[in-house]
Chains A and B, each alone.
Chain A
Amino acid sequence: MSTVVAIGADAGSTTTKLVGISHDGVIVWETIEPTEPRMREQLERLLATIPGSGGSAGPTVPVVATGYGRNLVDTKHRRVTEITCHATGVYRSIRSSGTLIDIGGQDSKVIVIDAAGGVVNFAMNDKCAAGTGRFLEVVAARMRESVQDFAALALSSPEEVAISNTCTVFAESEMVSLLAQGHAIESISRGLHRALARRVASLARSAGAVAPLMMSGGGAHNVALRALLENELGAAIRLPAKPQLMGAYGAALLALRRAAA
């Protein structure tokens, strides 16, 4: 394995991701685990596991932290927002300007990236769970399905029930009443994915989205959401190889850039 020369740590609300990269910006080490309530300790523990980078004394290579818990890393490390990090990671992976849609566990972002990889504009959802990965987690769990299986059900349905709520609490009760009215779980699932896609699409329009569209974050793995977003925005979505790691990867690239400066 090539030596880790820079590290990106993305302490998200749902999962914590760490990436180590080599001199040429290639991911040579990665880890992902559910975010624990004691985020600081978790970050310290994970940073100490990076091969050849300092052990329990902490990394000797540059680190950039991002994500919800970015301010919990040791102050000697640099902190950069998820917006810049996702843009940096995706730009390097796809090598294109365009519009990046990042659907994370607790928030969704739309980031417009220019030809040099810089952030031109961005929009984020409000602080509630509507329009985020959490919305689908909650409704899928209510149906006793995994998020992936719930998405597959949506794609298998030729019909779609109109769901008027993207508020997680209200959507859950609307879903229960639709089930009670005898609607198929497949068409309800499609309706729920549609509601989320519409919300994210309107966020994208408000940010002045331009083609091509790209996606990162855990939400990029959701096939139904991706298909319905393409349908709502009228353009194909391109994915990086590891969508969920793009925040950490971008952070590592920024750490590398800083070390080289």
Chain B
Amino acid sequence: MDSTPTRTQVIAEHKRSGGRIAAVFPVHYSRALFRAFNILPVEVWGGGRTGNAGDAHLQAYTCSVVRGVLSAHLTGMLRDAELYCVPHTCDSLQGLGSLFLDLVDPGRPVIPIYLPRDEGPAAVAFMASELRAIYDRLAELTGSRPSDADLQRAIDRECEADSVLAAMLELQGRLALPARAFYAAARSREYLPAEQFAAAGRRLLETTVRREEPAGVPILLSGIVPEPEEILDQLDAAGASIVADDMACCGRRNYAMSTNSDPFGRMAEQILGGPPDSTRGVAVERRLAHLLSLASARRVRAAVFYEVKFCEPEAFYLPQLRRGLEEAGIKTLALEVDISERPSHQIATRIEALLETLA
């Protein structure tokens, strides 16, 4: 995906064509809903060049994703966004949502998304009604009311992009690409319009050499977001091949397909039918069963939990997940990082040592 446009280019192009931009924070929301209003959701996961301007406004035990998002806001990096969308993923993001209500100028609405902490029909009904409420809010903001057919078309486009992402994830580790290049391609889903992502992803799948077997030791990467990207280089350099992904920004959004004739029900079923995720409060037993089946299908030898420091949803699950995987003969390594900092020497040593134990 060498010719993939940058975020800045995509935002400029979308605005030129008369569209609006929504800055969306992690993890789950419906892209289709925004796109039906010609609003392009551009995700912000902290890290990168967001800096540390947010630190002064938050408690020291707030995770670096939230600190990065606030820094991005305070330093004007989100100035192109006409609205913010804050999913209530965890207490920290919920807190940030309330801060934004005070900090963000009234001309730029902040839309929260409440996610059910459960599964099943009641959860789908709740999620669908939540999406309907956001629909009303967006209708009020834009003055347009897309029909059910418009919504279904928008969902179809996202499904197409999701199926390309699923194909990429299926082949992860067997595409002859450095891990950084794979994730750059997969994570362009965070800002590219669905149709552009699908086209670029298909190109990548057609033109990249496929290996019979992964080049390195097959590992599963779990966590929230692979930032800073040096971590991916360190895994490559140590001789690991990421063959299975359980990152919140990537594999945990390998959403289910739904054929529900009600567009809101369809969007809700897709989000809630995705892989079990700590940030949706799915039972740890389901998380473990999912990771075990991923690991067995891809012949994973070790799982690396690349966790953001102070991430409560992840921390609660970690001991049981590690125990369950270890009992199944899969080595585990937990790394805790501040995504605004360069990975430490100790992180590299731990990764290399893990790989040495598997040699």
Task: Judge whether B345 is part of the interface by a CB distance below 8 angstroms.
Answer: yes
Task: Judge whether A84 is part of the interface by a CB distance below 8 angstroms.
Answer: yes
Complexed CA–CA distance, A83 and B346 (Å): 11
Task: Judge whether A22 is part of the interface by a CB distance below 8 angstroms.
Answer: no
Q: Which residue in chain A gives the minimum CB-CB distance to B351?
A: A81
CB of B357 within 8 A of CB of A119, answer yes
Q: Contact partner of B357 among A68, A107, A118, A127, CB < 8 A? A: A118
CB of B345 within 8 A of CB of A122, answer no
Inter-chain contacts of A126 with B (CB < 8 A): 336, 346
Inter-chain contacts of A82 with B (CB < 8 A): 349
CB of B356 within 8 A of CB of A124, answer no
Q: Evaluate whether A81 and B336 lie within 8 angstroms (CB atoms) in the complex, with A68-B345, A124-B346, A127-B344 already known.
A: no
Inter-chain contacts of A81 with B (CB < 8 A): 349, 352-353, 356
Would you give the 0/1 interface string for A105-145, flagging 1 where the beta carbon is closer than 8 Å to chain B? 00100000000001110101011000000000000000000
| Minimum Cβ distance to chain B for residue A104 (Å) | 11
Task: Judge whether A73 is part of the interface by a CB distance below 8 angstroms.
Answer: no
8 additional A-B residue pairs with CB within 8 Å, beyond A124-B346, A127-B344: A80-B356, A82-B349, A83-B349, A83-B353, A83-B356, A107-B346, A119-B356, A126-B346
Complexed CA–CA distance, A140 and B344 (Å): 27
Inter-chain contacts of A118 with B (CB < 8 A): 357
Inter-chain contacts of A84 with B (CB < 8 A): 353, 356-357
Q: Which residue in chain B gives the minimum CB-CB distance to A13?
A: B345
A selection of 30 A-B contacts at a CB cut-off of 8 Å is: A68-B345, A80-B356, A81-B349, A81-B352, A81-B353, A81-B356, A82-B349, A83-B349, A83-B353, A83-B356, A84-B353, A84-B356, A84-B357, A107-B346, A118-B357, A119-B353, A119-B356, A119-B357, A120-B357, A122-B350, A122-B353, A122-B357, A124-B346, A124-B349, A124-B350, A126-B336, A126-B346, A127-B344, A127-B345, A127-B346
Count how many chain B residues have C-beta atoms less than 8 Å from C-beta atoms of the other chain. 10
| Minimum Cβ distance to chain B for residue A128 (Å) | 10
Q: Which residue in chain A gives the minimum CB-CB distance to B357?
A: A119
| Minimum Cβ distance to chain A for residue B212 (Å) | 26
Complexed CA–CA distance, A118 and B354 (Å): 12
Q: Which residue in chain A gives the minimum CB-CB distance to B350?
A: A124
Q: Chain B at the A interface: mostly helix, strand, loop or mixed?
A: helix
Complexed CA–CA distance, A81 and B357 (Å): 11
Q: Which residue in chain A gives the minimum CB-CB distance to B238?
A: A81
Complexed CA–CA distance, A82 and B348 (Å): 12
Residues A50-85 near B (CB distance < 8 A) = 68, 80-84
Count how many chain A residues have C-beta atoms less than 8 Å from C-beta atoms of the other chain. 14
| Minimum Cβ distance to chain A for residue B37 (Å) | 45
Q: Which residue in chain B gives the minimum CB-CB distance to A71?
A: B348
| Minimum Cβ distance to chain B for residue A29 (Å) | 26
| Minimum Cβ distance to chain A for residue B94 (Å) | 27
Q: Which residue in chain B gives the minimum CB-CB distance to A114?
A: B357
Inter-chain contacts of B350 with A (CB < 8 A): 122, 124
Inter-chain contacts of A68 with B (CB < 8 A): 345
Complexed CA–CA distance, A126 and B353 (Å): 16
Most buried by A among B346, B350, B353: B353
| Minimum Cβ distance to chain B for residue A145 (Å) | 29
Q: Which residue in chain B gives the minimum CB-CB distance to A84?
A: B356
Q: Which residue in chain B gives the minimum CB-CB distance to A208?
A: B326
Which 9 interchain pairs have the tightest Cβ spacing? A83-B353, A81-B353, A127-B344, A84-B356, A119-B357, A81-B352, A81-B349, A127-B346, A124-B346
Would you give the 0/1 interface string for A156-176, flagging 1 where the beta carbon is closer than 8 Å to chain B? 000000000000000000000
Inter-chain contacts of A107 with B (CB < 8 A): 346
Inter-chain contacts of B356 with A (CB < 8 A): 80-81, 83-84, 119
Complexed CA–CA distance, A27 and B166 (Å): 55
| Minimum Cβ distance to chain A for residue B288 (Å) | 19
Residues B73-94 near A (CB distance < 8 A) = none
Complexed CA–CA distance, A120 and B346 (Å): 18
Inter-chain contacts of B357 with A (CB < 8 A): 84, 118-120, 122
| Minimum Cβ distance to chain B for residue A65 (Å) | 12
Inter-chain contacts of A127 with B (CB < 8 A): 344-346
Complexed CA–CA distance, A83 and B345 (Å): 13
| Minimum Cβ distance to chain A for residue B203 (Å) | 36
Q: Which residue in chain B gives the minimum CB-CB distance to A79?
A: B352
Complexed CA–CA distance, A194 and B290 (Å): 43
Most buried by A among B345, B349, B352: B349
| Minimum Cβ distance to chain B for residue A127 (Å) | 5
| Minimum Cβ distance to chain A for residue B235 (Å) | 15
Residues B276-310 near A (CB distance < 8 A) = none
| Minimum Cβ distance to chain B for residue A55 (Å) | 31
Complexed CA–CA distance, A84 and B355 (Å): 10
Complexed CA–CA distance, A82 and B353 (Å): 8
Inter-chain contacts of B336 with A (CB < 8 A): 126
Inter-chain contacts of A80 with B (CB < 8 A): 356
Complexed CA–CA distance, A118 and B344 (Å): 25
Inter-chain contacts of B352 with A (CB < 8 A): 81
Complexed CA–CA distance, A83 and B344 (Å): 16
Q: Which residue in chain B gives the minimum CB-CB distance to A120?
A: B357
Would you give the 0/1 interface string for A80-96, flagging 1 where the beta carbon is closer than 8 Å to chain B? 11111000000000000
| Minimum Cβ distance to chain B for residue A24 (Å) | 24
| Minimum Cβ distance to chain B for residue A106 (Å) | 9
